[in-house]
């Protein structure tokens, strides 16, 4: 498949017996060979630590895709769904930019084939590679309005000379401007102490809509839902990005920058649900899982739960036989 460097692994996990009543992810996922009918979910991994390293963070996210697959493998499915694994794009040496281009090529091909794409990161530099794919898709060429909804403690709009895990959304804004468009970018969960005044000013200059982490508690859920619904009303297609450092450190310790405050899982899950049921979700990614920093696989299990929720809510069921 175009853009992919490493073939998908063989999935395995707990097996309680034959039949759909015992189905788990490992029994539903097949290698993607390009022949799947439209409407399937296709996974693509992005093995990258380079963006985190450049951003002076704690490395480990390159092992994220393998760990996410392991966490998903024994997850039970309520119904059969069409799942495929296209393999991984990997950063070779320090060539982050080349890997992002290859990820973009893979994502564009899958979207144009009519599939729902789920990208397993990797540092949050994965977001720019995913964006390149949706920006180059046939749907965008035909005039579809794309919006990026990011659940994150950080804006990731840094003005660093070298692209990193802290720059992907600034890069998106620049790329959109070069195409004569404005980036439709919204963020939930921004931690004020983790973002300088310069980043808040840059967000304002770019028209970024955001809610602070302290505005995203369960008691404020109606305001969060209104924020998401307003965003959904402005787009045709959604690129949904979840940086796991948006979650409280007790829930997601296995990230480069654990959150001192964070947004609760029930709120993050509700946001994912609203986007999924809108019918506008084209691409979903999870970023920043660093297994070497995790505790009892807490972060991996939480990420797998979110992926399971979105994929089973978005993906067409297997046809009856």
What is the Cα–Cα distance from 302 to 247, expressed in whole angstroms? 10
* pLDDT score for 140: 97
* pLDDT score for 243: 98
1 pLDDT higher than 90? no
What is the Cα–Cα distance from 106 to 78, expressed in whole angstroms? 29
Residue 227 falls inside a structural domain: yes
Residue whose C-alpha is closest to residue 164's, from 51, 266, 290: 51
Local confidence band at 2 (pLDDT 50, 70, 90 cut-offs) = confident
Residue 241 falls inside a structural domain: yes
Output DSSP code: residue 257: S
Residue 120 falls inside a structural domain: yes
Share of the chain above pLDDT 70, in %: 98
* pLDDT score for 107: 98
Tens of pLDDT, residue by residue over 133-176, are 999 999 999 999 999 999 999 999 999 999 999 999 999 999 99
* pLDDT score for 121: 97
Report the pLDDT averaged over residues 111-117.
98
321 pLDDT higher than 80? no
Local confidence band at 320 (pLDDT 50, 70, 90 cut-offs) = low
Report the pLDDT averaged over residues 50-56.
96
* pLDDT score for 317: 67
Q: What CATH number is given to the structural domain containing 213?
A: 3.40.800.10
Domain that holds residue 253: 20-314
What is the Cα–Cα distance from 73 to 71, expressed in whole angstroms? 6
Binding residues: 124, 152, 154, 156, 243, 245
Residue 9 falls inside a structural domain: no
Backbone angles phi, psi at 70, to 5 degrees: -65, -40
183 pLDDT higher than 70? yes
Tens of pLDDT, residue by residue over 228-284, are 999 999 999 999 999 999 999 999 999 999 999 999 999 999 999 999 999 999 999
What is the Cα–Cα distance from 280 to 237, expressed in whole angstroms? 5
Residue 3 falls inside a structural domain: no
* pLDDT score for 318: 63
Cα 103 vs. chain centroid, distance in angstroms?
13
Share of the chain above pLDDT 90, in %: 96
Q: For residue 21, with 0-12 CB atoms within 10 Å meaning exposed, 13-18 middle and 19 or more buried, which class applies?
A: exposed
Local confidence band at 7 (pLDDT 50, 70, 90 cut-offs) = very high
Residue 10 falls inside a structural domain: no
Report the pLDDT averaged over residues 80-93.
96
Dihedral sign of CA atoms 82, 86, 90, 96 in order:
negative
pTM of the model as a whole? 0.97
Output DSSP code: residue 215: G
* pLDDT score for 309: 98
Binding residues for Mn(2+): 124, 152, 154, 156, 243, 245
What is the Cα–Cα distance from 132 to 153, expressed in whole angstroms? 23
Judge whether 72 and 308 are in contact, CB under 8 Å: yes
Residue 14 falls inside a structural domain: no
Local confidence band at 319 (pLDDT 50, 70, 90 cut-offs) = low
* pLDDT score for 315: 77
CA dihedral 256→29→138→230, nearest 10 degrees, is: -60
Residue 319 falls inside a structural domain: no
Judge whether 150 and 156 are in contact, CB under 8 Å: yes
What is the Cα–Cα distance from 271 to 231, expressed in whole angstroms? 11
CA dihedral 180→110→122→128, nearest 10 degrees, is: 0
End-to-end CA distance of the chain: 29
List all residues 6 or more positions away from 127 whose beta carbon is below 8 Å from its beta carbon. 148, 150, 156, 168, 169, 172, 241, 285, 287
316 pLDDT higher than 70? no
Number of domains in the chain: 1
CB burial of 211-247 (b: ≥16 within 10 Å; e: otherwise) equals: bbbeebeeeeeeebeebbeebbeebebbbbbbbbbbb
Q: In whole numbers, what is the pLDDT of the chain averaged over residues?
A: 96
Say which range, 48-52, 166-170, 312-316, has the weakest mean pLDDT. Answer: 312-316
């Amino acid at each position: 498949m175009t853009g992919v460097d490493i073939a998908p692994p063989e999935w395995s996990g707990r097996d309680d017996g034959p039949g759909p009543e015992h189905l788990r992810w490992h029994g539903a996922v097949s290698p993607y060979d390009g022949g799947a009918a439209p409407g399937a979910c296709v996974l693509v991994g992005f093995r990258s630590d380079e963006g985190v390293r450049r951003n002076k963070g704690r490395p480990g996210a390159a092992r994220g895709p393998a760990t996410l697959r392991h966490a998903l493998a024994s997850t039970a499915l309520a119904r059969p769904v069409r799942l495929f694994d296209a393999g991984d794009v990997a950063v070779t040496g320090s060539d982050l930019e080349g890997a992002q281009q290859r990820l973009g090529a893979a994502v564009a091909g899958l979207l144009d084939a009519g599939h729902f794409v789920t990208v397993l990161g990797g540092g949050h530099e994965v977001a720019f590679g995913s964006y390149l794919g949706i920006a180059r898709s046939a749907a965008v060429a035909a005039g579809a309005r794309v919006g990026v909804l990011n659940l994150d403690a950080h804006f990731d709009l840094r003005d660093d000379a070298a692209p990193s895990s802290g720059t992907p959304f600034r890069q998106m804004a620049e790329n959109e401007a070069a195409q004569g468009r404005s980036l439709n970018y919204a963020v939930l969960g921004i931690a004020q102490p983790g973002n300088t005044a310069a980043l808040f000013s840059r967000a304002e200059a770019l028209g970024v809509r955001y809610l602070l982490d302290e505005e995203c508690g369960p008691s404020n859920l109606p305001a969060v839902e209104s924020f998401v619904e307003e965003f959904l009303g402005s787009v045709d297609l959604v690129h949904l990005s979840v940086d796991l450092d948006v979650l409280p450190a007790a829930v997601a310790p296995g990230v480069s920058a654990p959150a001192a405050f964070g947004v609760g899982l029930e709120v993050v899950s509700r946001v994912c649900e609203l986007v999924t049921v809108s019918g506008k979700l084209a691409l979903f990614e999870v970023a920043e899982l660093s297994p070497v920093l995790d505790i009892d696989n807490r972060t991996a299990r939480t990420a797998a739960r979110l992926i399971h929720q979105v994929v089973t809510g978005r993906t067409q069921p297997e046809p009856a036989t």
